[in-house]
Amino acid sequence: MEIGKVFVMGSGTMGCGIAQVCAQSGISVVMNDISQEMLDKAVKTISWSASKFIEKGKVKDDLGTVMGRIQVSTDLDGAADADLVIEAVFEKIGVKHEALKKLDPIVGEKTIVATNTSAITITEVASVMSRPENFVGLHFFNPVPMMQAVEVIRGVATSDEAFQYGAEFVRFIGKEPIMVNRDIAGFILNRINICANVEAMRLVEQGVASPEDIDKGMRLAFGRKMGPFETGDLVWIEVSLMAYTNIYEEDKDPRFYPPSIMRQKVLAGHLGRKTGKGWYEYNEDGSRK
């Protein structure tokens, strides 16, 4: 299995983290984005984060060596000789399809193409590719350099080779593959989590408990670092609403239907920590009021 060169499409939160863990594992990376500004920001973010890993002795190479493995580009030429392409553009099917249609004629016959989608099925994302057998889901968790689990998802057309390549790649970058044998919106871990989060919001809606008490209980009883409302404010309630809606739309399973208390937060613009208000209220420095 060749993992010499990885091409990452999209250099936002996830693309940036994926490029970092690849470079830290000795892989040459091309980070691609339509925005040069995002690429410049991504290089700064990776440099800062990788330096912390090096200081703690978790990465053996020096910063110059790690950063020397990363190239940035606003065009797709660098994908031509890549062993693996990982798509991490906006979570909108139209945007993903537009990006993949441009990529399709450029990648080699053997190149494995992966998507980091959170809530769209792999089969739907792969539907514009001329070689869907080479297409696999690689669902990383945020923040990528810290989180050890990566779901490897088999789409309807994914070959055994591409599925196994996904798992080997995940091990190669020092993470643990969680194999998802059948394509299902939300995959495994988010599906389980979202059901619990929907129930937590319904309990608040029904006046049974406050977000504070639910978060405290989930931390103290189940050893979680953060409760569902604290996490919700961190990842933006609007982003979660989109993911829940995508999963619900797939098979209309009411367990995933976003409660009205969540939809109202989004309509009111109370999106989480970055807007100063979500499930909780925040000061300008991001601390809780």
Give, in order, the Cα–Cα distances in Å from 101 to each of 72, 80, 95, 127, 145.
Answer: 21, 14, 10, 10, 29
Q: Is 284 a catalytic residue?
A: no
Distance CA 275, CA 108 (A): 43
Contact positions with ligand NAD (CB under 6 A) in 127-156: 140, 142
Is 118 known to be catalytic?
yes
What is the token pair recorded at 235? Answer: 């990842």
User: Is 151 an active-site residue?
Assistant: yes
Selected from 19, 25, 27, 33, the binder of ligand NAD by CB under 6 A is 33
Residues 197-226: x where in contact with ligand NAD by CB under 6 A, - otherwise, as a string: ------------------------------
Binding mask 225-254 for ligand NAD (x = CB under 6 A): ----------x-------------------
Q: Near ligand NAD by CB under 6 A, which window of 28-36, 49-57, 156-164, 279-287?
A: 28-36
193 binds ligand NAD (CB under 6 A): no
Catalytic residue among 32, 190, 197, 240: 190
Query: In this structure, are residues 149 and 176 in contact, taking their beta carbons and an 8 Å threshold?
Result: yes
Judged by CB under 6 A, the number of residues near ligand NAD is 25
Binder to ligand NAD among 1, 2, 4, 35 (CB under 6 A)? 35
Residue of 31, 89, 138, 201 that binds ligand NAD (CB under 6 A): 89
**Which 91-110 residues touch ligand NAD, going by CB under 6 A?**
91, 95, 98-99
| d(C-alpha 268, C-alpha 211), whole Å | 18
Cα(192)–Cα(11) distance, integer angstroms: 28
Helix or strand or coil: residue 206? Answer: coil
Choices 84-92, 104-112, 168-176, 210-218 (CB under 6 A): range interacting with ligand NAD: 84-92
Measured from the CB of residue 42, what is the shortest distance to ligand NAD in angstroms? 8
Give the number of other Cβ atoms within 10 Å of residue 11's Cβ. 29
* Cβ atoms 125, 90 nearer than 8 A: no
Please tell me whether residue 10 binds ligand NAD under the rule CB under 6 A.
yes
In 3D, which of 48, 47, 51, 39 has the Cα closest to residue 12?
A: 39
Minimal CB distance to ligand NAD: which residue? 12
Q: One-letter amino acid identity for 218?
A: M
Active site residue 133: no
- CB of 229: closest distance to ligand NAD in angstroms? 16
CA pair distance 10, 88, nearest whole angstrom: 5
CA separation, residue 52 to residues 12, 46, 47, 174, 215 (Å): 20, 10, 9, 17, 29
Q: Which of 115, 114, 122, 129 is nearest to 162 (CA)?
A: 114
Contact residue for ligand NAD among 15, 137, 227, 272 (CB under 6 A): 15
Residue 9 binds to ligand NAD (criterion: CB under 6 A): yes
Report the alpha-carbon distance of residue 131 to residue 89 in Å, rounded: 20
Query: Does residue 14 touch ligand NAD according to CB under 6 A?
Result: yes
Residues assigned a catalytic role: 118, 139, 151, 190
- Give the residues lining the site for ligand NAD (CB under 6 A): 9-15, 32-35, 38, 88-91, 95, 98-99, 116-118, 140, 142, 235
